[in-house]
Structure formats: C-alpha cells, structure tokens
Structure 1
Amino acid sequence: MKRTLRTTLLTTGALIAALAVPATAAPAVDADVRVDLRVLVVSDGGPATDAIAAELDAAGTPYAEIDLTRTDRPVIDAAYLADTVDGRERAKFQAVVLPNDNPFPAGSPEMAALAAYERTYDIPQVDAYTYARPEAGLQYPVYGGYSGSVDGVRAQVTDAGRAGPFGYLDGPVPFEDNSPAVGESYAYLSTPAAGADFTPYVEATIPGTTKRGSLVGEYRHDGRRELVVTFVYNRYQQQFRLLARGIVAWLTDGVHLGTSRNYFAVHVDDVFAADDRWNSTLNCTPGDVDCTDPNATPDPIRMLPADVDRALAWQRERGFTLDFAYNGAGSVDHREDHDGADPLADKLIAERAGFRWINHTYTHAFLGCQQNTTVVPWRCATNADGSVRWVSRYDVSDEIAHNAVWGRAAGLPLDDDELVTGEHSGLRVLPQQPADNPNLALALADNGVTWLASDNSREPGQRQIGPATTVPRHPMNIFYNAGRAAEQVDEYNWIYTGRAQGGSGICEDHPDTTTCLPGPLDPATGYADHIVPLERQIALGHVLANDPKPHFIHQSNLAEDRIAYPVLDGVLGTYDTLFAANTPVVNLRMKDIGTELQRRTAWRTAVRGGQVTAYRVGTTVTVDGPDGVAVPATMPEGTTRAGSAFGEAYAGGRSGWTAAAQAPLTLTLPAPATSATAPATGGPAPATGPAPHARVPEGVAEPLSPGAGS
C-alpha cells in the first residue's frame, strides 16, 4: 500500500479540531508533512501485540510502546501524536498497533485522538487480535461464522492478499497443532458485514460450511485503514511467523527502517575425521572422556566417497551449499593406517569446489584447560599453586595453522579469518571451565582469525575474543555419535526418558527440558515419526524468525543411514511449499553471518539510544544516524539512492544495509500509482467502546514447545 500525499495544508490545530468532527473520507495530506519512520505499539500485555513488537525489534524497526496496564504511561492525545519541527508539520508515528480495534473505555478521548490522527495523516492501524464484530467490518460469528480452535487448520492467502502485503507466500498457512491436550490457536471466522469496505487477505473454511471466513483483512472506513486480525498468536508460532512480514509491510506501507530475510546455513563438522559411535549397551560413547568402561572400544563412523556424491547431488537438488568444517589430521591418520590410501579425502579434494570450507583445527584437540579425565565429569587440571593449567598459546596456534597449511596444500578454498574449534573449546564451558583460555585470543591473533564459532545453546550473543568476534551456531539434535537412525533413537531415549524407563533422568533433574519424552520411542520408527518432525520444526522456526545463525551437524550424519537429510529436506521442502520464488532462503557463509549479526547489534544500540532520526516527506526518505553505523531499510520496488536502485530485491520489495556516510542517507521512493485511502462505500459506524474480551488459549498465553505432531 502506498501512502498518497496531496496538497491541502493540515496543522496540528486541524488534528485537534478533528477529534470532534467525524470524517467520512480520507482528507488530503500535505506533501510537505513529515512522517517519522517509527511505529506506535499500544499494548495490553497480551501475546499478539508482544509478537508484533518482537517482529519490529528483530528487524530493527524503531517503535515506541505504551503499556495500557501501567498507571504512569503517557496519555495519547493530539500533542503526543503530532507537532511541528523546524516549521514543518510532523506526524510522530507512521503506523499504530492496537491490541484490538478499540481497547479503550466507551467515549475515550484517547481513541478519538488516535482515530483523528490516523484520518488526518493517513496512518494505518493494525488490530493485533480482535473479536469479529461490525465495528471491525465483520459480522458477528454467530451469524454463520465460527468461534473456536483452529489448531491444525490450513488457511489460505487470498488473491488480494497475494497482490498486496502477502505476495511473498505461495501456499497454505498451516496453523500449529503440537499437542492434542493443549489449545494452541483460537480464532473468529466471519464474513464482511453488510456494506463494509472489507477485503480479506487470509481466510479459512468456516467449519460445517463451504464458506471462508476472514482471519486477516483490511477494513476501510471513516477515512481510516485497519488491518483486522481475528486469530490469537504468540511470537513463536508458525502461523504468525509466516504472516509477520506481511503485517509489517501493510503496517508501514512497505517503507520502514530495518530489514528481514529467511536464513539457513548448515555446518558439517569433523570432515575428513571420524566420529566415535554411541554404545547402546554402555549408554556412552567409547573414546569419549566420560565413557570409562575398560571394555569400551571405539567404533568410528566416517563418510565414504559415495556419501560425497550424495551430498553434491543433494546440494544441486536443493540449490543449497553446505559448509564443511574439516580436520586435516583425520585424513593423515587414515592414510597411515591404510597404506597411504584415503578414497574419501581423494574424493572430497577432487570435489572441493562444491562446498564451502572452514578450518576446524588439525586434530580436533580440546583447546581450553588441560583436562583431568581421571574423574567423571572431567575437570580442569591445576598447577601446584592451584591455578588452572591452560593449553598453551603455541599448541592452540599450531592446531589452527597446521590445519590451514594442510587445507591450502589440498587446494581447499579457505577463508583464513574463519575458525571452528573442536567442541567450541578454548571458550568458556560451564561448569568445568568458567573462563576462556587466555591463550586463545593470542593464538587467534597469530593466525588472523576474526570470526570464531560458538555454541548458541551456551552463548546466544556475540562477543569479542581478542581480534575475533564469535558467531553463535545452533546445535541440531542429530547426534555426532550416530550414523544410523536406530542409534540416534537409542541415545535420544537414554537422554530424554526417566530413570524408571532406563533413561538418564535428566528430565527429572531438569523438568524445564523441552524435549522430554513420556516414554521411549520405537527404535524402528521413532526417528522418522518423532525426531525428524521436531527438529524440522525447530530449525524452520529459526529460518522464519530472521535468524541468520548457522546450524551445525557432523560428518557422521551424512554417512551410513545419512540421517541428516530427512531433517534438512523437511526444512527446505516445507519452506518451498510456503514461499514464493521472490523470497528464497538466504544461505550465507560464516563470516557474512557474523557481519550481519554485528551490524544488527550496532544498529539496535543506536536506535535504542535515540541516535537515529528517520522520516519521510513526500517521496523522500531521510535517515540520519551515528557515523560508522550501517543503516538497514526496506522500501518498495523502484526506490533509488543517488539515481541507482536501492538494496536488493526480496519478498516483493527492496531491502538491505547501506553503509553509513557522513551526510544523512537519502532515498527516493517511486511515485504512488493510486490513492491508498479511497473513501469507504458505507458500513457500520465507528467503534464506540472496547472490543469484547477475546479468548487466549493456553498454548498462546504460554508458548508451547514444538512437537512431533505438527
């Protein structure tokens, strides 16, 4: 939707006067009016407004939030919403988000102020979750509609939705149904009220009928525009994640600071090496420091040349590139034990251009403290004075440099500034090693490493280690010590069942663990029926959440039963059924992911510190921020900067980062083709009181862990 700016002068005084004068059509808006690129979120503490605020925050879109439950909150009036800056009339917010179509008491001057503001400056309003009623452009559900659970429903984007804010979707909008015992989604399905100018964007079939009822639609009335959402959600649910981009696009008319992509990257660790296999009798992994049984014999899992062929074929089928984190000693040791032969290494080196490569250290040694493995769990060895005995700077540096030299000799296309240490070692690991190895930063500097992988489950934020910035990686629950599905299920059962069921008891000791099982999975079917759907949903949730962090698995998962592929296929295959070709998965290498995360941190700091000023006047957008801070922005197709196309095409718009310059950033929007605020054709009168209480089921009020049933 493009905002149309016309040439009738309106002042703040005119806004005040408009509070008492109902309008039936959108007034003309002066092309000289300044509209700040900031969203006003009015929250009642519910999950729906919280979800929209989280979406804005993740993208880097500035917003101000008013919590209606606080007695010390600002009062929403004409002065709060608009003023004059340097002689120019200013609308302080480009859009408004309300908990429902009218969260205020009957006759509220605050709702009147908002309505007048929206009417005067053509400001769109999102009703985050509202009851279907004539005041929102819809019939009451009792008149042929529906009120109730929509768990498992497959909604559809309408033609108008695809032509408008949801043009990035190309399939159903499936609603989650993770647990039959918990209500997760609730909705009011209804059709437009008689005479209402209402356009459904997302619909679902009304149970017991062939009619479709609106879940998301645009209601135009009294010179105002509302996006009416009649289902409840939280920020994590797939249905919201699919629609969030379109809600923000509608809310901002496609013009806002911040940017969003759907990212997916997969690191495969331990390439060239072998991973020790889980022993289902001992319930440990022979070769690991905590598997102390004297009869425990390591049973290594290692890829074969045929597994390389499968990986290459899979990449071609999916249009996706895997990142191989390699250990050169794995090949050297294999040749020593096999009369100089290593068919796997020969194949990987011959096909080296087909993958991205990351230094994973030469032998995969533990690079933190020197481990005392005479006790379980291990602990850090100490010197005579009680101080920690650290792996030396020389040994850490040698692990990095030796592997890099081996890789270059093999012709691997390396970026020497990237590193994944074995087990993310060298970094702090609780509880045994609460501090980083002080020699790690020195060794990173010795080798020019500026991007260092970390474990997102331990450290979700980036931090600096000497010259290097960490890149948190999501661990996938596909175990490094499993090459076959039955092994994966056996270990999964051991970890996530209770002691009475023969399990580890971790769920009894830590009841907040989200993957606990009510009983052991069937070894023959548990992987396909439970683990694959669960891991697919978790990873897809990251993809849909504008989260660029890479996921990591191990080379063992591409060998034998090749158990990684069902999960990866589930993520990418599901994605392909949901999204249009204009919204591809973005597959970055590690250093580019690190740069993206680093830019976001700097931008959020600037926005939260009040250091960014951004506004629109007519077709000109101006952004002024701190020197050295890159600016993320999302604009319509046709937007230019200094005569050249701005950003990159994605999801039907143009978006990207623009390096900060000393002068403010200026963008030129395309001229609007038509008015965005045609008068309504009639319909119900404006709302005079708050929307009726809308039901929030348990699975929304309290985010439900994803499960295999989805």
Structure 2
Amino acid sequence: MKRILCTTALTVGALIAAIGLPAGAAHADTAPRIDLRVLVVSDGGPSTDAIAAELDVAGTPYTEIDLTEADRPVIDAELLADTVDGRPRAKYQAVVLPSDNPFAAGSAEMAALVAYEQTYGIPQVDAYTYARPEAGLNYPVEGGYAGSLDGVRAEVTDAGLAGPFGYLDGAVPFEDNSPTVGESYAYLSTPVAGADFTPYVDAAIPGTSQRGSLVGEYRHDGRRELVVTFVYNQYQQQFRLLARGIVEWMTGGVHLGASRNYFAVHVDDVFAADDRWNTELNCTPGDVDCPDGAGTPDPIRMTPGDVTYATDWQDSRGFTLDLAYNGAGSVEHRADNGGADPLADRFVDERAEFRWINHTYTHAFLGCEQDTTVVPWRCATEADGSTRWVSRTTIGDEIAINRAWGESAGLPLENDELVTGEHSGMKVLPQQTDDNPNLALALEDTDIAWLGSDNSREPQQRQVGPSTTVPRYPMNVFYNAGRAAEQVDEYNWIYTGRAQGGSGICEDNPATSTCLTEPLDTATGYADYIVPLETNTALGHVLANDPKPHFIHQSNLAEDRIAYPVLNGVLDGYDALYADDTPVVNLRMKDIGTELQRRASWQAALDGVTAYRIGDAVTVEAPDGVAVTATMPTGTTLAGAAFGEAYAGERSGWTPSAGIPLTLDLPSSAPPSTAAGAAAVTDPAPDTYVPQGTREPAAD
C-alpha cells in the first residue's frame, strides 16, 4: 500500500517552505551554506554510540539527540535549517540514525528529515538496520542470512575500495575473542531487483554462492543512505576498521577533525639491568615486591647481540623504538668489569638508529621515601607523621646527571623529555596519594616540558609544574621476565585464584579483564595465549586514533626477546588490513604530547568554532590561539598552498587560526555540497519491520 509522507500530505513546495528556504531557492544560483556539523540521532544503542565516539576522538563536531529522553528537542524544520544573511543554511552536513527509520508510522520528524535530506543533498547513515526492501535489500529469509558473524572474514568490494573505504587492503575480519560469547550479529542480503544499491562491504552468504551486503549505499527518492546491517560497538575491530570510511562517506571527505593510526614503543631501563621474577618465591628478589633479604637478585641485561637484533628488526619494519636510558647502569657495569661495557659501546655505535629519552641516572624512586620493610611498601614518615619526600636536589641531580651522561655519549636527545623510574614522583595509589611537591620544582630547574606517565593510573594529560604528562600504555610483557616461561609463570600467579596458587587479584577485583580460569602451560602459554591477547589490545589502540605510546623494558629485548612476537603481531596485523597510503604513524614522545595537547585545546574550543561550506569553499573560524584540525580532499589549498599532509587518500592536519577566518579551497573533483535540486517526493521511509520468526538482536 502506498503511504503518504505524513498526515498533512505536504507537497514538495510546502516542504521546502517548511524547512525555511525562500521560494525557488532549491534552484537558485546562490549555493546554500552547509555547516560542518553532524546530527546524531541515538536510541541509546551501541552502534550510534560508536559513531559518536569516532566523531569525538577525531574532533568532528556533532549534535546528539537521544530518542529515549522525554525532554529531547523535536526534530523539525526549524532545528534542521534556517537562513543566515539571506542565504539558506543547512545546520548539519550529515544525519546519523539508529536505523533507516526509528520513528513511528507517519512521523512528522521523519518527514522533516526526508525533506531536509532531499533539499540539501544531505546523506544519512543507518547505523544498524534490518535488511529489507525499504533499505534497498531483500529480506534475509529470501536467500540471505541472519545470525552471528563471529570469526567471519568480510571484504571491501571494488566499489568500496574505489570509494570511502579505499584506505583498507580489502579484508574486514570480524572478531571472535571467545567461543562462548556471541560478539557480532548481522543480516546478509542482496539488493532488491532494480534498486540503486551499491555494496561497499560484503561477506559470503552461508549455504549459497552469493555475497550479502553489510555496508552499502542506497540511492532513492533524491536521498542517499549508508545502510549498515551488522551491530557493533566502538571497541570492536570490525567497526574500528570501517569507522573512517563511514565518516568520510557521510561528509564527502570534507569535515573538521582528523584521524590517524599511531604506534610508538618506549623501551625503559636501557643500560641498566632488570631484576628477575623468582618462580619459587613468586616475587622479584631485589625489588619491592619481595621482603628484604628474600632470595638473590638475578638481573637481566641486554647484550651487544640484542642491539644488533633490534637495529635489524627496526630496519626490516621501518619502525623506530624509543629508548629510555639510565646512564648509571653503564657506569656501574664498567666499574664491575674493568672498565668494559660492550653493550653500551654497541648502543653508542648505533645511537642514530634509535630515539632516546632521559629515564633518570639511577632509576631511583623519586616520590616519597619508601619503607620496604613491609610488603607492599609504604611511605616513610617524619616524627610528626608527615610524609618524608625525596628532595628537590636529588630529583634534579637524577635528571641532570643522566642528561650530561647521554650528551657525553653523543645520544641524540630531546632534553625536554623525561620518564622517571616507575613514573615516580607522581602520585602512586594507594601508598602515595599526592605528587612529591619537590618534583615540580626539579622539573622547572631542569627545563622538562614533557613527562611520561602511566596510562593505567592517569589516562588524562595534566600539568606537573612546567611539564605536561604523556600517558603511556603498559604492555603486559613484564619488566622482570627475559624468558617466555618466566613471563607465563608470573602471569599465572597474578591472574589465577588463590586455590590455584595465584595471587587472588581476580577474586578481589572481578572486573580484571585478564583473569584465567586455569593456569597457562609455561611451555606454550606465551605464544598461544599472551601474545595474541597483548597484540589484540595494542592493535586496538592503534586503530582507535590513539597516539599514546606503549612501554616495555630492555629485559624484553634480551634472552628470549619476548617483546618481538607482540610487536610483530601488531605491525603484521596492521599491514594485512591497511593500504600503503595509510601507514602507522610513529611519533616521538614530545610530538605525541603536542598532539594530545592540541586535541584537548580543540575540544575545549569546539563550541566556539564556526565552519561551513559554500560551493567549493570551506570557511573555518576558531578562537585565537587554537589550532584548527580538518580533513579535506586531495587538492585542497589554503592561501594557495596545499592543505595539510597526505594520509589515507586525503589531506589532514593542524593549522593555526590566529583568530581570523581560514578559507580552504576545495578541488573541482570534490563531491558537491548539495543536491542539484529537490527530488520528487514519493513514499517516506517506513517503520522498521522484522518478519515473523526472524530474531531482531538486542543491542550488545
């Protein structure tokens, strides 16, 4: 049965008038203004939340309307468009809906959206919708599929590679992290006969020789929809792979904000030796997790051969490690070995192959003075009960002497970078609830601008005196393990229950994500369990536009060299997924800090940013002192010069605003900002319908 657009049966002319366009504006010579902002209409489900999260991280402005809130704004012509200085304005460059039509039958809100999209050529993303003719697809019961896609390898089609997903190599693997938990649900179906539908991502339909669409573009009634027929959340790899393309499709590659894939690895304690885990005592002799006098330290230290391996590995991967060094480690080794230190000599010979970070001279703990007579340790106190702090002079000497040692060795240093031993000096819960007040003073004395911090303790950047922190992800490759069997033994002790001989941390903290139901085999557990898990975790950070570095220790590059399987897993996994024009971005610490700082400033200023497109010109106005981030098509110019840097087939980057409008000139090849004119209005998008007997999955 044919349905009218809404109960008032608006004509095309009435729709245009309702949106706020002057008569004939759809065909006027003056192009309308399209604001660079996205409208996200959410139902509280994970799919719209995932797209909103992608916009958040990239710094792309959006307005969210939650359909579950009773006092939400009504979506009508006034909310969507108006007139500015006599020019019609579309307030949103794209619309994201939870499905192709989340409203009740005859909805005036859906009618307003349809008219808006037709009039201004605004694209619509159906974040997760059922495969049905109203979305350009056959019902799954008609030769398609509805069910789990766990472990399935989807593919980007030729049209997808030539279009919004060209930054991928082709494969889109769906996660299957647990055999007992359903992680994905999808509808696979073919386009309706005669429909103008182009699949961009598809997968084989089980039991047939056909492939069904998972992401595709449906063009109808003067509108364009990106139809997504699988459910996802913001953390799943399949979404992370496709998120960039979804945003590029909805914006035509013209939007504020930018996204890249970053990976940096810091290797701590270089030149020093790391104490070894004792598999019998379940602690590390010589370190604070063992009682004083328990066991004999058995240090792990790299060899010259390990340096050669590291340089060869870097050359083969096109990747640079950041080495956080402790000069005293070499001085002490020479003192104990007749002046010889082949490791330091080899590193100094190869110093230009690496990036170097000051890690303090002796790796001393720079917070409170530690009382290690108890386990866990506690802060020593003065007679009056106040905390006894490591002095300003001691902290300053640790920084300055290590810097002088590095300079004398010719290490190519950035002297404003610092990682303290164990991130000490900053608060460490539960023992030390505040920063050492002497830390900020010493950082000022030594001109430190960037201070490494532990992301597991403090994921946000903050100021410590004159320094800005750079949160670092700790990899679960332990500092006190040089051999795979030691790593597994310690992993088993930490993550199993007390009845199994473990620490019981998971019993005390059930939310711990790495808990084990039974101990791993010490001979195979590292390669079979820990490496895939750590690879997946780190790769997830890489795919999430997250520039924060990861850190391991020099012990992990020694003996069994247990870090490399994880690092290779991340880089090999990435190379298998992305095209050559979308490389991993490998920044040093201060550049990561700058990127995070710019993002914070941009997010704080975003409500005061105005950006819009008129024809082939984009204008951006931002507060003075705030750098503008944007993504534009290749060929875009700013003041006659190429805008930004090439990445993923586009141009993106940061540009100082100086408080004056920036004008970006788009190439003639850029997609038009509006439709040529209002299309004839036929049927509205109907209600979502699920045939009887087919399960519509609950949001995961």
What are the superposed Cα offsets for residues 130-164 of structure 1, whole Å, 9 maximum, x if unpaired?
A: 00000000000111100000000000000000000
**Aligned residue identity for 2:686:** T
Counterpart CA distance in 2 for 1:682 and 1:663 is: 41
Q: Pick from 625, 632, 639 the counterpart of residue 635 of structure 1.
A: 632
Describe how 1:120-519 pairs up with structure 2 within 5 A: 120-292=119-291, 294-519=293-518
Counterpart CA distance in 1 for 2:218 and 2:87 is: 31
Change (3 A) 1:40 1:130: same
- SS in structure 2 of the partner of residue 310 of structure 1: helix
Counterpart CA distance in 2 for 1:696 and 1:443 is: 60
Counterpart CA distance in 2 for 1:144 and 1:337 is: 76
Counterpart CA distance in 2 for 1:253 and 1:68 is: 26
**Contact persistence 1:478–1:557 (CA under 8 A):** yes
Counterpart CA distance in 2 for 1:129 and 1:545 is: 20
Q: Pick from 662, 667, 679 the counterpart of residue 665 of structure 1.
A: 662
Counterpart CA distance in 2 for 1:131 and 1:674 is: 29
Question: 1:3 — aligned with what?
Answer: none
**Contact persistence 1:29–1:122 (CA under 8 A):** no
What are the superposed Cα offsets for residues 161-216 of structure 1, whole Å, 9 maximum, x if unpaired?
A: 00000000003100000111111100000000011000000000000112100000
Tell me the CA shift for residue 687 of structure 1. 2.1
TM-score calculated relative to the size of structure 1:
0.93
Q: Pick from 608, 612, 620 the counterpart of residue 611 of structure 1.
A: 608
**Aligned residue identity for 2:619:** T
Counterpart CA distance in 1 for 2:77 and 2:342 is: 75
**Contact persistence 1:427–1:436 (CA under 8 A):** yes
Tell me the CA shift for residue 686 of structure 1. 3.9
- 444-453 or 379-388, larger mean C-alpha shift: 379-388
Describe how 1:47-62 pairs up with structure 2 within 5 A: 47-62=46-61
- 283-292 or 570-579, larger mean C-alpha shift: 283-292
Question: 2:4 — aligned with what?
Answer: none
User: Can you give the 5+ residue segments of structure 2 that lack an aligned partner in the other structure?
Assistant: 1-11, 20-24
Tell me the CA shift for residue 289 of structure 1. 1.7
**Contact persistence 2:137–2:192 (CA under 8 A):** yes
Say how many residue pairs are matched.
Answer: 682
- SS in structure 2 of the partner of residue 275 of structure 1: coil
Question: 2:3 — aligned with what?
Answer: none
Question: 2:85 — aligned with what?
Answer: 86
What are the superposed Cα offsets for residues 394-419 of structure 1, whole Å, 9 maximum, x if unpaired?
A: 00000000000000000000000000
Counterpart CA distance in 2 for 1:377 and 1:108 is: 62
* Identity across matched positions, percent: 77
User: Can you give the 5+ residue segments of structure 1 that lack an aligned partner in the other structure?
Assistant: 1-11, 20-25, 702-710
Q: Pick from 681, 688, 691 the counterpart of residue 690 of structure 1.
A: 688
**Contact persistence 1:221–1:682 (CA under 8 A):** no
- 684-693 or 314-323, larger mean C-alpha shift: 684-693
Counterpart CA distance in 2 for 1:448 and 1:643 is: 38
Tell me the CA shift for residue 392 of structure 1. 0.3
Counterpart CA distance in 2 for 1:544 and 1:673 is: 26
Counterpart CA distance in 1 for 2:383 and 2:172 is: 63
**Aligned residue identity for 2:290:** C
Q: Pick from 651, 658, 668 the counterpart of residue 654 of structure 1.
A: 651
- SS in structure 1 of the partner of residue 415 of structure 2: coil
- SS in structure 1 of the partner of residue 620 of structure 2: strand
Change (3 A) 1:15 1:679: closer
Higher-RCO chain (CA-CA 8 Å, sequence separation at least 6): 1
Counterpart CA distance in 2 for 1:412 and 1:14 is: 72
**Contact persistence 1:27–1:223 (CA under 8 A):** no
Change (3 A) 1:682 1:280: farther
Tell me the CA shift for residue 679 of structure 1. 11
Counterpart CA distance in 2 for 1:158 and 1:188 is: 17
Change (3 A) 1:44 1:464: same
**Aligned residue identity for 1:690:** T
Question: 1:621 — aligned with what?
Answer: 618
Tell me the CA shift for residue 375 of structure 1. 1.5
**Aligned residue identity for 2:184:** S
- SS in structure 1 of the partner of residue 403 of structure 2: helix
**Aligned residue identity for 1:688:** P
C-alpha RMSD over aligned residues: 2.1
Change (3 A) 1:123 1:558: same
Tell me the CA shift for residue 697 of structure 1. 5.7
Counterpart CA distance in 2 for 1:590 and 1:540 is: 19
Counterpart CA distance in 1 for 2:150 and 2:265 is: 31
What are the superposed Cα offsets for residues 642-673 of structure 1, whole Å, 9 maximum, x if unpaired?
A: 01000001011100011122311111111247
